[in-house]
Chains A and B, each alone.
Chain A
């Protein structure tokens, strides 16, 4: 049986509505994208959506209690909550510089957690 899934391309303001037709998880056709970037995006979104996770973690001895962080690579959407679980209890010490690697391979994922904000010592 052929099924359909609608995906809105978010890569540019055109916001093309892309239709993916598929049978038991195999893509039959991708329709509606104005440019080829949209086809790639729709395929990725269909097969394995990935997101950059941004959050904040506790920092000790700094001019702020929190330092904002992000993953250096987009990670599978389904893994986001398991990283949040790790971040809940994770803590670093001031000072922190923008770009510092704070954690490598959280939840065995191939990514690093990096600081997005400077925290000075108190």
Chain B
């Protein structure tokens, strides 16, 4: 596939501009729309689908307005194929199921789950109950107990931790203010899609000065909705607070749905710290098109740790808008593209205040026909002083067919700012593999070690259990990649 040489990644929105949709007046009175709860939203996307989803969720009218407006945007916006891959044209929006009601029963039985998938679950040590859910045999993995536990625990500190539906219904005064502001509906076609049909995802509010001791995990709340395709997450860390959020699980998800398009917004108010960790392993028929961005106010810090394995196409560029003086933003990302996969990932750092610093470290691994693309934007306007950016992109190729492209766009205006950029492409060296084999490791084990070594300095920054799982995942991927 030919690759457009120019980087025309759309610029991040100016955080000062409010999303006009949010300002729309809310009409009083309950919205009523006759629905049949026996059915899901069917396939295809229309106003009816959107109204259906909103009514099932018993949403306030402003949310329905928000959704309908987003739908219009989605329908009117072109695919970003002028800079992204043409493969996007293979998404059939009319064949997708946009909402699955609670009562929806999966149609697959355990016996129908392919053996290699079962084996993978075994290798990864996934508990029995979760396997069935992950394989799409059960609609719900019942971990509600664990979830409410942690929810209650953090509630004692005044933390709100709820799913998006619940949060918008019960705490509109907190969430409405920020909802759809960091990532305006029309940021890109897929954020518009998510805004129209979102369902599931977490809403978190951490009050001033509260440091949440344990990482909050979406993992506790796996069900059809949260594991769904269009989750929406909004995390607000009030002044001086700290929170770590972890999403995803490293078990491959074998869904029949082929489009995953989430939106994640983070707001770190003055002096707050948010760390958002993702480790995802998608089945290789999935289009994973995710918009993630945070706003860091004065002296606040936002750190994205993003790890992508699998999927047919992942497009994801976590960003930080450095809005306040001395704000810090960081993106650490690892992407592994195996045969038939394209990881198009990167980062955006939009400096909008003096003395803001950003750090991007991206490592990609391409195996076989797998393809990795790094796409980044670092924007430092002329009038700012004392801003710093460091960008490192390292690519590792595991055989000669792999390809990797780097499109770093660093616009630094003015001479009172400093940037540093390093990029490297290396191949797994044959002598290194022979050296390891001569110690008794199989070629696959040697490859795994080489890959794990390549990402080691990043993986070390992950929470323990995530880096262990990541290692196991890489072992599995590498095992399959050698003849």
A pairs with B: no
